[in-house]
Amino acid sequence: MSEDPPPLPEFDLYGFTPYRLAVAAKRTSEELARQYRARFGISIPEWRVLVHLAHSGKVSVRDIEARVAMEKYEVSRAAKRLREAGLIESRENPEDRRLVLLTLTPAGRAMMADLLPMARAHQKALEERLGTAFRQLEAGLEELLKHTK
């Protein structure tokens, strides 16, 4: 005869901060993604690569992977699609031949000139939606990011 499994301890999933952060991040990211997907036909990983290149200039896949919380294969796939679309170019890093440096092409820069104002407007809408809680959220996120890797 089989024994009953032990009872599970009480757990409030909907009050669990990592779960709530993940859901909130996905939902707010998807709000913007619907806009740029419809207008430019790019995915969230492609957006992350493009915006990181717009912000940082010439960087390696490894740099993007570390800074935007994406797996190497996701960055590599996104970069491949963006190269094929003519939005980025890649070159061997002369200082470390194992690394590939990615940069925006003129077409990529032109797209980002249109896309970044959309992102700013999305940020502004989030700030307005949160009102006075926005500063507290930013401070809390800063603390979390400072103490986690």
pLDDT value of position 137: 94
Which range of residues forms the domain containing residue 63? Answer: 29-146
**21 lies in a domain?**
no
Position 87 scores a pLDDT of 98
Query: Is 3 a domain residue?
Result: no
Domain assignment present for residue 2? The answer is no
The answer to whether position 139 is within a domain reads yes
Reply yes or no on whether the pLDDT at 19 is more than 80: yes
The answer to whether the beta carbons of residues 111 and 87 sit under 8 Å apart is: yes
Question: What pLDDT score does 125 carry?
Answer: 96
- Please name the residue that has the structure tokens 């809390």: 140
Which position has the higher pLDDT, 122 or 149? 122
**Average pLDDT of the residues of the chain:** 92
**What CATH number does residue 81 fall under?**
1.10.10.10
- Quick check: 21 pLDDT over 80? yes
The count of structural domains within the chain is 1
Q: pTM of the full predicted structure?
A: 0.84
17 is a domain residue: no
pLDDT > 90? residue 147: no
Note whether residue 1 is domain-resident: no
**Model pLDDT for residues 123-145, shown as the tens digit of each residue:** 999 999 999 999 999 999 999 98
